[in-house]
C-alpha cells in the first residue's frame, strides 16, 4: 500500500513538473517577441538593422522613439486613439450597465423577447453588417470623423448580459428599502447597484478598452483623412512605407518597433488598476447561473 502511494506521489510530481515546463515554454513564447521588440526599439538605427533575435541592445539609443513621435507625428493618431477609446469605453460601460439594470426589473414587459433579441445580436458576425453600417455612417455624414468610431460598438449584447448577470447577484431587498425611503430608479442604480457591481464594471471596461484601443476594421472603413488616423492605421501605414523601395519612405526597424511599444503602453498601464476587480469579476461571472 505504501509503495503504491509512493508511486502515485512520484507520478503526481512528474506531471506537475511537465505542466510547469509547458507553462514556462508558453510564457516564453509570449515574452520573447515583446522583449525583442522592446530591445530593437531602444537600439540605434544601424544596430537595429542587424538580423536575428535581440535580447540586449548592442548600441543603446532612443532615436527610434524620437523619430516616430516627433518627425512622423505619431502623437496625432495616439491622441485620436485615446479620444475614441476613452469616450467609447465610458459610454459603452454606462449603457451596458443601464441596460443590464433594466433587464433585472420584475415588471419589465416583454423581458424574454428583449433578452432573445440581445442574444440574437451576438450570433450575427460583425463582417456581415460592415457594409450596412458604412452606408448608415455615410448617410449621417459621419465618415472621416472620430464620432463614427465612438458610435461603432457603443453597445453589445455580451456586455449587457454580463452586467445583467452581476446585478442579479445583488439582493433586491436593498432596492426595495430604498424605494420605501422615496428613492427613484436612477438613484438606486447609481448609488446602490453600480458601487456593488465594481467587478462587473471592471470586466466590461477592460474588455472594451482593449478592443477599442486595438480597433482596426472600423477606422479602415470610415477614416481616409490622415489627420484622423488612429494608432492602428498609422502603424499599418508605417509598415507599408517600410516595405517601399524608395529611400525617403524607408524606416529602420527601431522606428517601427518604437511605434509598437508606444501602442502597448496604455494597455500595460491600465491593467494593474483593474486587475483586482477584473479577476474577481471573471470568477463571479463564471459561477453565476
Per-residue pLDDT tens listing for the chain (289 residues) = 556 666 667 777 888 889 999 999 998 998 999 999 999 989 888 888 888 888 888 888 888 898 888 877 888 999 999 999 999 999 999 999 999 999 999 888 888 899 899 988 888 888 888 888 899 999 999 999 999 999 988 888 989 998 998 898 888 888 888 888 888 888 999 999 999 888 888 889 988 998 999 888 899 999 988 888 998 888 888 777 665 555 555 778 888 889 889 988 888 888 777 777 766 666 665 554 4
* 171 φ, ψ (degrees, to nearest 5): -60, 130
How far is the C-alpha of 254 from the C-alpha of 259, rounded, in Å? 9
How far is the C-alpha of 63 from the C-alpha of 75, rounded, in Å? 16
Burial of 205 (0-12, 13-18, 19+ CB in 10 A): buried
- In this structure, are residues 261 and 41 in contact, taking their beta carbons and an 8 Å threshold? yes
168 membership: H or E segment, kind and range: helix 157-168
Amino acid at each position: 500500500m505504501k509503495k503504491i502511494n509512493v508511486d502515485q506521489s512520484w507520478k503526481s510530481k512528474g506531471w506537475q513538473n511537465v505542466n510547469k515546463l509547458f507553462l514556462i515554454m508558453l510564457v516564453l513564447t509570449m515574452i520573447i517577441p515583446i522583449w525583442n521588440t522592446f530591445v530593437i526599439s531602444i537600439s540605434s538605427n544601424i544596430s537595429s538593422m542587424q538580423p536575428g533575435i535581440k535580447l540586449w541592445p548592442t548600441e543603446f539609443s532612443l532615436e527610434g522613439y524620437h523619430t516616430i513621435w516627433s518627425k512622423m507625428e505619431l502623437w496625432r493618431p495616439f491622441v485620436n486613439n485615446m479620444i475614441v477609446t476613452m469616450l467609447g469605453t465610458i459610454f459603452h460601460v454606462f449603457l451596458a450597465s443601464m441596460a443590464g439594470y433594466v433587464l433585472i426589473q420584475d415588471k419589465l414587459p416583454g423581458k424574454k423577447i428583449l433578452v432573445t433579441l440581445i442574444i440574437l445580436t451576438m450570433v450575427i458576425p460583425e463582417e456581415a453588417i460592415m457594409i450596412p453600417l458604412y452606408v448608415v455612417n455615410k448617410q449621417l455624414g459621419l465618415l472621416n470623423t472620430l464620432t463614427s468610431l465612438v458610435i461603432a460598438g457603443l453597445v453589445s449584447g455580451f456586455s449587457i448580459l454580463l452586467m445583467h448577470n452581476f446585478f442579479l447577484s445583488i439582493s433586491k431587498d436593498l432596492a426595495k428599502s430604498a424605494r420605501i425611503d422615496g428613492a427613484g430608479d436612477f438613484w438606486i442604480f447609481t448609488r446602490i447597484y453600480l458601487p456593488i457591481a465594481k467587478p462587473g464594471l471592471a470586466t466590461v471596461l477592460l474588455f472594451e478598452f482593449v478592443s477599442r484601443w486595438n480597433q482596426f476594421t472600423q477606422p479602415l472603413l470610415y477614416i481616409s483623412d490622415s489627420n484622423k488616423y488612429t494608432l492602428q492605421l498609422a502603424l499599418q501605414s508605417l509598415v507599408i512605407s517600410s516595405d517601399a523601395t524608395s529611400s525617403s519612405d524607408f524606416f529602420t526597424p527601431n522606428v517601427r518597433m518604437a511605434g509598437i511599444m508606444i501602442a502597448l503602453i496604455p494597455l500595460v498601464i491600465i491593467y494593474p488598476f483593474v486587475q483586482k476587480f477584473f479577476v474577481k469579476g471573471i470568477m463571479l461571472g463564471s459561477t453565476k447561473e
